Amino acid sequence: MLHGHDCPHPDCGKKVEDWFIEWYPRPKQYEIGGKRLAMDCPWCRQPVMLEKGRPVVPTQTMPVEARSYAEATKYAASQPEKYTSLEAFLSDPSQAEKAAPYKQAYWPNVTIP
């Protein structure tokens, strides 16, 4: 898992407490690991790839994909707290730092103050 790294894009640079790679379907995780697919920065939505366990700007053009709402929802339900929805997870004050970039318009149907 990738935790506590800043976005590598100079025009963003915001800290992402949890990049939630597990919110990509397993085949997409393999594509990301194999440097064939970029994940997006949850703050600026620009492409980011992993290199030696750190987020970096891709050196070549590659497809970029957002995290899956369905996978994120499954993750929330699998937590020890057994959240009833992804929104409940994102709203939990104990998850505030990790949830911050995903609360406002990361997914079109999610807007949490």
User: Mind listing the pLDDT tens digit for each residue in 58-76?
Assistant: 999 999 999 999 999 999 9
In this structure, the answer to whether residues 85 and 38 fall within a common structural domain is no
- Tell me what pLDDT residue 2 has: 83
- Which uninterrupted H or E stretch holds 4? strand 3-6
Average pLDDT across the chain, whole number: 96
What is the domain count for the chain? 2
In this structure, the answer to whether residues 59 and 12 fall within a common structural domain is yes
User: Mind listing the pLDDT tens digit for each residue in 73-103?
Assistant: 999 999 999 999 999 999 999 999 999 999 9
- For 5, the token pair is 């790294």
In this structure, the answer to whether residues 82 and 59 fall within a common structural domain is no
- For 13, the token pair is 């640079």
- Which uninterrupted H or E stretch holds 33? helix 26-33
In this structure, the answer to whether residues 19 and 59 fall within a common structural domain is yes
| pLDDT surpasses 80 at 1 | no
In this structure, the answer to whether residues 61 and 96 fall within a common structural domain is no
Contact by Cβ (8 Å): 100, 110: no
Residue range of the domain that includes 23: 3-65
